[in-house]
Amino acid sequence: MNHTKEMSKLTTLQDLLIHSVKDLYSAETQLVKALPKMSKAASDPVLKKGFLTHLEETEFHVIRLEQVAALLDASPRGLSCKAMKGLIEEGGETIKEEAEPGIKDLALIAAAQKIEHYEISGYGSARALAKAIGNDEIASLLQTTEDEEGATDKKLTTVAEKIVAGIPQS
């Protein structure tokens, strides 16, 4: 028997969409707490600032998911995203690692890109569900965030290339 609403059986596309939104909401709220720490641990000023810029965007991602949940007549709360918890834990280990500043920055970027890719896939699946149930307003809200995650991923690649170029190769 299921005991809570959150644990109830997923029957429809809308049920799965709500489930995905809750999962993403948990992921994004965890990330709001993690990004300032990643910024602090970074040395490259562009990377430091980039993490804080993405923090501001992430705060909007949380708000957008609240809007999506409201459009679905659901609460965005009630699930814990274990995947994001694990990704952030790994990022935390990177933060603690002893490393040359440029190398540490590259490790932080790698951790951050895993997070962005995870988000991109989560938003992509959720957006597809919104399209499938014909809710273009929700699909467009999810697409907006997905685009920002993609842009962040590309910016991280650019910073990584710049940092790699500054590290002696022998």
Binding site for Fe ion (CB under 5 A): 58, 61, 119, 149
In this structure, what DSSP letter does residue 137 have?
Answer: H
Minimum distance from residue 62 beta carbon to Fe ion (Å):
8
Rg of the chain in Å (alpha carbons):
18
For Fe ion, the nearest residue by Cβ is: 61
Which CB atom, from 105 or from 119, has the smaller least distance to Fe ion? 119
Residue 46, classed as helix, strand or coil, is helix
In this structure, what DSSP letter does residue 3 have?
Answer: -
- Smallest CA-to-CA distance from 116 within 169, 41, 61, 161 is with 61
Minimum distance from residue 128 beta carbon to Fe ion (Å):
17
Which CB atom, from 12 or from 80, has the smaller least distance to Fe ion? 80
Residue 98, classed as helix, strand or coil, is coil
Which CB atom, from 19 or from 117, has the smaller least distance to Fe ion? 117
Minimum distance from residue 119 beta carbon to Fe ion (Å):
5
